[in-house]
Amino acid sequence: MEDSIQIQVNGEQRGCRPNATVGDLLRELAIKTDRVAVELNLEIMDRKDFDHRSLKQGDRVEILSFIGGGAPVNAPDIGRGDTHAE
């Protein structure tokens, strides 16, 4: 895809079709939208906006869900501030 844009999803670079929405990305990854939280460039998204927000070059997306826990393990570095984790 010549005109694909680069985004970062859960810390990994990946190509993405221009104008794809966050909802498109979740469907492509086969992730059910209930029970996940999506952070786009450090801002938590409202689930209602998944299909309305288009992804842009350099966007950083974090997709999180619930896992077994209670006894803590170290939280993963899900990136902070303005620098791109890589």
Partner 1 sequence: MQNDRLTIAGHEFTSRLFVGTGKYKDFAETKKAIEASGADVVTVAVRRVNITDRSKENLLDYLDPKKYTILPNTAGCYNVEDAVRYARLARAAGVSDLIKLEVLGDERTLFPDTAGLIEAAKILVKEGFVVLPYTNDDPIVAQKLVDIGCPAVMPLAAPIGSGLGIRNPYNLKIIMEMIKVPIIVDAGVGTASDAALAMELGADAVLMNTAIAGAQDPIAMAEAMKYAVYAGRLAYKAGRIPRKLYATASSPIEGML
Tell me which residues touch partner 1 (CB under 8 A).
9-12, 29-32, 34-39, 44-47, 62-76, 78, 80
Q: What is the DSSP letter of 58?
A: T
Closer to partner 1 by Cβ: residue 20 or 36: 36
The one-letter amino acid code at 59 reads D
Token code pair at residue 53: 């927000």
Instruction: Judge whether 54 and 25 are in contact, CB under 8 Å.
Output: no
What is the closest distance, in whole angstroms, from the C-beta atom of residue 46 to partner 1 in the complex? 8
What is the closest distance, in whole angstroms, from the C-beta atom of residue 33 to partner 1 in the complex? 9
What is the closest distance, in whole angstroms, from the C-beta atom of residue 68 to partner 1 in the complex? 4
CA 54/CA 28 separation, integer angstroms: 14
